[in-house]
Amino acid sequence: MNDSNLRPGEVAVELPPRTDAAIYFIGVIHTPWKTRRDCPKRGSAEGPLCTITIDARWQQALAGIANHKRVQVLYWMHQARRDLVLQTPFERPTMGTFALRSPVRPNPIASSMVDLVGVAGNTLQVRGLDCLDGTPLIDLKPEHGADE
Amino acid sequence: MNDSNLRPGEVAVELPPRTDAAIYFIGVIHTPWKTRRDCPKRGSAEGPLCTITIDARWQQALAGIANHKRVQVLYWMHQARRDLVLQTPFERPTMGTFALRSPVRPNPIASSMVDLVGVAGNTLQVRGLDCLDGTPLIDLKPEHGADE
C-alpha cells in the first residue's frame, strides 16, 4: 500500500467491507483543547475542568451518578484513521496497534477514568480528560467495583 | 411506554432515529459461559482461562502486546437492549443507566481489565472476563500507564 501519510515502519490494512454494529453519540465533551496537537498525552486529576453534556433523551440515565467519585468515560476519537496495524509513535519504536493506546485503531473508542466534580441537569464537570473539544460521548459508567 | 419486559421503576426511551458511527467486530471471545445466567457478575483473576481470537486482518496489530501483563478488553454486549434510562437490577434499587455497569445501555460496550496469560499467533489466553461465549471483540489496549 502506497500511503504518503505513513511513518517509517507503519502498516495499513484494507478495512473490512462492512461494519458490524452501530453506535449513538449520546452527548459531547467540552475541553480547552481545540487541536490534536494541543491535547495532553494523558489526562490528569490536576488538569483543567472539562464539561460533559448529555443529550436530553438520556438525561434520566444520570440518576445516581453523583454518588460516584470516579467515572469511566467512553468517547469516539472521530479524527483518527482506523486502518493501521503497526504504528510508529513520535520518537518511539514501531508497535502493534493493540500494544498502544493511540487514537488510531480499528474502532477509535477511548476510555478514560475521570474525577467527577459535579453534576447539574444534563451536565457533568470532570477532571482527567485529554481529548479534543467537541469529542462525541458514547458512554459513562461508574468505576469498576463501585456498584458490585 | 407499555413494555411487559420492564421491571418496576424501569424507564425506556425511544431510540434516536439514526446511529452516528459504526464499529467493526475484530475478533471473538470464547468463555465457558453459554447463557447470560451462567456468567459471573464480575470477572476475576482467579477465574477460568478464556480465549480471545483476533481476525487475521488485524493480527499484526498484536505485535508487542505480549510485553503487557494487563490488557483492557472492549467488547460488544450483543444481547442487551439499548433503550433503558432507569433500571432495576435484581434485589437492588432503581438507578440511572450511567450509574450502573449493566450491559443494558445506549451503546452496549463493555470494558474489562484482564490478566494476559499468553499470546500465540492470533490467539490470546486471558483471565478476568465475565462475558458470554461468542461475544464480539471490539478493541484491546494495554493497561493505562503502560505505554505512557
Q: Residues 6 or more apart from B95 whose CB is under 8 A from it? A: A63, A64, A147, B86, B87, B88, B89
Closest CA to A81 of A101, A102, A111: A102
What are the cell numbers at B102? 449493566
- How does pLDDT run across B82-91, given as a tens digit for each residue? 999 999 998 8
B28 touches chain A (CB under 8 A): no
Q: Give B-chain residues touching A26 at CB under 8 angstroms.
A: 106-107
Integer distance in angstroms from the first to the last C-alpha of chain B? 48
Looking at the predicted structure, is the pLDDT value of residue A148 above 60?
A: no
Answer whether 0.90 is exceeded by the pTM: yes
CB contact under 8 A, B26 and A74: no
Q: Nearest residue of A to residue B76 by CA position?
A: A21
Residue A72: phi and psi, rounded to 5, are: -90, 130
Which 3 state secondary structure label does DSSP give A132? coil
Q: Which candidate from A76, A106, A147 shows the least CB-CB separation from B100? A: A147
Name the band, by pLDDT with cuts 50, 70 and 90, for residue B148.
very low
Pairwise pLDDT comparison (B130 vs A3), residue with the higher score: B130
Name the residue among A63, A75, A41, A124 with its Cα closest to residue B94: A63
- Amino acid at the residue B116: L
The per-residue pLDDT for range B57-111, each reduced to its tens digit, is 999 999 999 999 999 999 999 889 999 999 999 889 999 999 999 999 999 999 9
Residues contacting A104, CB < 8 A, separation 6+: A80, A81, A82, A84, A87, A97
Question: Given CB atoms, is A81 within the 8 Å cutoff of chain B?
Answer: no
* Inter-chain residue contact A61 with B24, CB threshold 8 Å: no
Of the listed ranges A41-45, A126-130, B127-131, the least confidently predicted one is: A41-45
